[in-house]
Amino acid sequence: MNIELQNIRFSYGSIKALDGVDLMLGAGACGLLGPNGAGKSTLLRILLGFLKPADGEGTVLGYDIRHEPFAIRRLVGYMPEDDCLIPGMDAVTFTAYFGELSGMPRQEAMKRAHDVLFYVGLGESRYRMLETYSAGMKQRLKMAQALVHDPKLLFLDEPTSNLDPQGRVEVLDLIKDISSKKDINVLVSSHILGDIEATCSHVVILNKGQVAAQGEIEALKAVTYSLYELRIKGSGDGFIRALEGQGCRIEPTEDGLLKIYMPPGLPRTALFTTAERERVQIRYFVKSRTSLEDLFAKTVGVD
């Protein structure tokens, strides 16, 4: 287990930010979701040791969050959401500086800074002044400084904010690559569900200061075996009637998607045979699953 928390509580004055959070996070990439004000940033701050919980215990990578925050910070990399760079430096100096502050010897930090900057894609621009960096480059620089000391656990806070579509894909690919190394674990906090689905295998949903749901994304999404989603080309009416004749229930949705509830015992192939008979092409065919968005809505509750 990389992160274990028991009954963590924290309040800002009278506002209860975390109200009894229990968490067990293992290896791999995990997404952290929640409405605004649910306590995500507070949780990250407590994990990093910026804040001490009012109540509760916890360990990160085996170190106690109250008493050993420095040991935790050595092994953890944090990529903040806001822009944060020191003007007047170039990327190598910046990255090496923070590597040094993490406890690396100066020359090691310098060497490692170069390697990490190449890895995140800033190799060509690593001697340029930070003021000249574009938004995408700044995000990657933030990732570089989080990786320079080879952390075991990486916290990424809204990693794709302010990025254009190309930048988003590049950063997501980078995250996927990092988390594919079996021994770096990643915790991604984001509001963009697509990003979480693309990069994470697990998810934790916070709501009102508590954990509303946690687990594997695939497992949490209810897999309804008998429900399929289809798009067809051709006259749909005959097709629909034929299927209903076989016991299916059809729900057309807006923009042309058909939801088909199959009766037990009817094999999938029946859809295709019916389609062929009715001279209809099936152009899109997937087993219906709850989307992460629906899961979120269900867990957090549509108020």
Partner 1 sequence: MTAVIRADNLSKWYGNVLGLSDVSLEIEAGITGLLGPNGAGKSTFMKLVTGQMRPSLGRIAILGQDVWNRYALFRRIGFCPEQDAFYEEMTGWEFLTGLLDLHGFSRGEAASRARRALELIELVDAKDRLIRGYSRGMRQRLKIAQAIAHDPDVIILDEPLNGLDPLSKRKVIRLIKDFKEAGKTVLVSSHVLPEIEALTRTIVLLHQGKILAQGDIPYIRDLIDKHPHMIAVTCRDPRRLAAAVVGESSILDIRFGPDPGTVVFETRDRDRVFGLLTALAAGNALDVEEISSPDDNLQAVFDYLVGR
Partner 2 sequence: MPIAEQGYAHWTGTFVERRLPWWPVTRLGIRLAFKRKFFKFAFAFSFLPAFIFLAGIYISERMQDFQFMVRGRQSVNFLNINPAFFRSYFTADALLFIMVMLMVLAGAGLIADDLKQNALQLYFARPLRKRDYIAGKLFTAFFFLLSLTLVPGLLFILFKLIFAGSFKLLVDFPWLPLSVIGYSFALTLFLSLYTLLVSSLSRNRRYTAILIFVIYILSDVFFGIFYGIFRNPYFSLLSIKSNLQQMGAAIFGVAPRYNIPWVYSFLVLAAIGTASGFILKNKVRGVEVIR
Name the one range near partner 2 by CB under 8 A: 77-85, 198-206, 218-226, 236-244: 77-85
Q: Does 228 contact partner 2 by CB under 8 A?
A: no
Phi, psi of 40 (to 5 degrees): -60, -50
Contact with partner 1 (CB under 8 A) among 35, 80, 121, 236: 35
Q: Does 51 contact partner 2 by CB under 8 A?
A: yes
DSSP structure class, residue 90: B
20 binds, among partner 1, partner 2, none (CB under 5 to 8 A by kind): none
Kindly state the smallest distance separating residue 33's Cβ from partner 1, in Å.
Answer: 7
Name the one range near partner 2 by CB under 8 A: 20-28, 47-55, 229-237, 246-254: 47-55
Q: Does 103 contact partner 2 by CB under 8 A?
A: yes
- 101 or 297, CB closer to partner 2? 101
Q: Draw the binding track, 192-211, toward partner 1 (x: CB under 8 A; -: no contact).
A: xxx-----------------
292 is written with which tokens? 């992460």
Largest alpha-carbon pair distance within the chain? 75
What is the C-alpha to C-alpha distance for residues 173 and 185, in angstroms, rounded to an integer? Answer: 15
Q: Does 80 contact partner 2 by CB under 8 A?
A: yes
Contact with partner 1 (CB under 8 A) among 191, 208, 259, 289: 191
161 binds, among partner 2, partner 1, none (CB under 5 to 8 A by kind): partner 1
Q: How far is CA 279 from CA 202, 234, 269, 275, in A?
A: 42, 7, 15, 6
Instruction: Tell me how many residues contact partner 1 (CB under 8 A).
Output: 45
Q: Does 135 contact partner 2 by CB under 8 A?
A: no
CB contact at 8 A, 235 and 277: no
Q: Does 71 contact partner 2 by CB under 8 A?
A: yes
Q: Are strands 210-216 and 202-207 parallel, antiparallel or unpaired?
A: antiparallel
Kindly state the smallest distance separating residue 199's Cβ from partner 1, in Å.
Answer: 14
Which amino acid would we find at residue 2? N
297 binds, among partner 2, partner 1, none (CB under 5 to 8 A by kind): partner 1
- 64 or 164, CB closer to partner 1? 164
- 145 or 288, CB closer to partner 1? 288
Kindly state the smallest distance separating residue 265's Cβ from partner 2, in Å.
Answer: 50
Spatial neighbors of 42 by CB under 8 A, at least 6 apart, are: 10, 12, 17, 18, 51
Burial track 84-95 (b if 16+ CB lie within 10 A, e otherwise) = ebeeeebbbbbb
Q: Give me the helix-helix angle, 135-147 and 106-119, nearest 10°.
A: 130
Kindly state the smallest distance separating residue 272's Cβ from partner 2, in Å.
Answer: 42
Q: Which residue has the tokens 């090691």?
A: 108
- Nearest Cα residue to 101 out of 119, 80, 83, 74: 74
Q: How far is CA 229 from CA 95, 252, 269, in A?
A: 48, 10, 14
Q: Does 276 contact partner 1 by CB under 8 A?
A: yes
152 is written with which tokens? 């075991």
Q: Does 123 contact partner 2 by CB under 8 A?
A: no
Region for 196 from its dihedrals, namely left if φ exceeds 0, alpha if ψ lies in -120 to 50, beta otherwise:
alpha
**Which residues form the interface with partner 2 (CB under 8 A)?**
12, 41, 45, 48, 50-51, 69-71, 73-74, 76-78, 80, 82-89, 97-98, 100-106, 108, 112, 115, 119, 145, 147, 149-150, 177-178, 181, 183
